[in-house]
A and B are shown apart, each in its own frame.
Chain A
């Protein structure tokens, strides 16, 4: 099962085994990871599941879609080149070991 590493703003980490087909947001919410709020439950409508993905992981992700791009302009913490909505990152075997950084706040 692919692993995902969630890095909190204080540097501490949570590592989760995430079934393929599950989003980085869904896995975080199911395990109660603080820092992913995900108000809208995955509709790309709330911008509260914002994460930062650094190179080289960032290159292995699918391109940012139109709805995601729009919502990333509405995040509580500044948008950076590696900004993504974690509801739009669905785990595959290729993404094993993906590391996402959590922002200071989601609202």
Chain B
């Protein structure tokens, strides 16, 4: 049996994970929940209980990964620090992202952006909700929240993708480095311009909060962390918006429930983040030899923390592959946990669950999938729908 499992883990190809990781995750959870997977060059941690355990022990399972590609691309962001050094930078950004700021400042702006985007394509009666709505909605919202008021949303999307490709450039492709370095340089310029204007005219944005904190961040710290927020604050709300829309369009009985009671879009958001976690994997590295899920890990072991698998763990969620807004087991780990718990969680809940989804399903009467092309899904480190062609009655 052991040999069979070794054979299985060594035959896992990244392309298979990209296309549909969930059957592979199920095998790993059942037979080798903390498994060395050569193709990923990491131990993959696939069970819910082990993911929750390691999130609660950051002193052993460190975020400060050595030779991290994220650091190569973005500099040393708060997501690759632990303890007091991490907390100092996080606390500086936090006032802009707490629920009260989200409610008072950002939600009204999100509503305006959503309506403007829909106004732009409404009369056509058809659109690709991924490219025409979810992407630009996330980009425009992020620019405002960060304080990058002069940045074009399309540039933000380009930079985000280029930097995320860099953080995943394990193949050391020089063309990928060239694009991610160019994006990082462009972000530096945009952040420097924003710092200059926000020093004289402070607002509620993240950059302004970092400047005004009790222990203000340096321009270099702000530049690195804004790169992190551009990488982590754009694709995730975009992907949950598209996945949730897709889920409702393919589960008509649940769509009926939420259109009758729009407060339940909150449940749609949470269940969509569980069902297809937008961040499917994040890295950790052990600081000491430790046993996890029956596997003895050496000190310095690189881990892939598989949120996409933990959220489908049958010991934590009944019928885990089903999209079900009525499920009782709701403690998904899509936002991570512990000190690095997603700083943008309340912004995302408001943007997607309170604004984007209710607005789309209210304004676009008769919204349905178009038969022009099939909806495609892809990814495992980051996963989501890749297109969402729809029609409605203008």
> Taking beta carbons and an 8 Å cutoff, which residues of A are in contact with B?
29, 37, 39-41, 43, 45-46, 48, 67, 70-71, 73-74, 76, 105-107
With contacts A29-B56, A40-B341, A41-B56 known, is A106 near B331, CB below 8 A? yes
> Taking beta carbons and an 8 Å cutoff, which residues of B are in contact with A?
55-56, 94, 98-100, 270, 328, 330-332, 335, 337-339, 341, 343, 345-346
With contacts A29-B56, A107-B331 known, is A43 near B99, CB below 8 A? no
Closest chain A residue to B97 by CB distance?
A45
Q: Cα distance A107–B100 when bound, in Å?
A: 18
Q: Cα distance A5–B156 when bound, in Å?
A: 50
- Residues on A with C-beta less than 8 A from B331 are 37, 39, 48, 106-107
Q: Cα distance A8–B339 when bound, in Å?
A: 27
- Residues on B with C-beta less than 8 A from A105 are 328, 330
Contact B341 A45 (CB under 8 A): yes
Cβ contact of A40, chosen from B99, B328, B330, B337, cutoff 8 A: B337
Q: Cα distance A107–B98 when bound, in Å?
A: 17
- Give min CB distance, A41 to chain B, whole Å: 4
Contact A41 B98 (CB under 8 A): no
Cβ contact of A45, chosen from B55, B94, B100, cutoff 8 A: B94
- Give min CB distance, A10 to chain B, whole Å: 14
Closest chain A residue to B337 by CB distance?
A39
Contact A74 B99 (CB under 8 A): yes
Cβ-closest 4 pairs across A and B: A40-B341, A41-B338, A107-B330, A39-B337
Cβ contact of A74, chosen from B330, B339, B343, B346, cutoff 8 A: B346
Contact B346 A39 (CB under 8 A): no
- Give min CB distance, B194 to chain A, whole Å: 25
Q: Cα distance A6–B387 when bound, in Å?
A: 47
Contact A39 B341 (CB under 8 A): yes
- Residues on A with C-beta less than 8 A from B345 are 45-46
- Residues on A with C-beta less than 8 A from B343 are 45
Residue among A45, A67, A106, A107 with max Cβ neighbours from chain B (10 Å):
A45
Q: Cα distance A39–B99 when bound, in Å?
A: 16
Residue among A41, A48, A71, A76 with max Cβ neighbours from chain B (10 Å):
A41
- Give min CB distance, A56 to chain B, whole Å: 30
Q: Cα distance A46–B94 when bound, in Å?
A: 12
Contact B335 A41 (CB under 8 A): no
Contact A73 B99 (CB under 8 A): yes
Contact A70 B100 (CB under 8 A): yes
- Residues on A with C-beta less than 8 A from B98 are 45, 67, 70
Q: Cα distance A71–B94 when bound, in Å?
A: 13
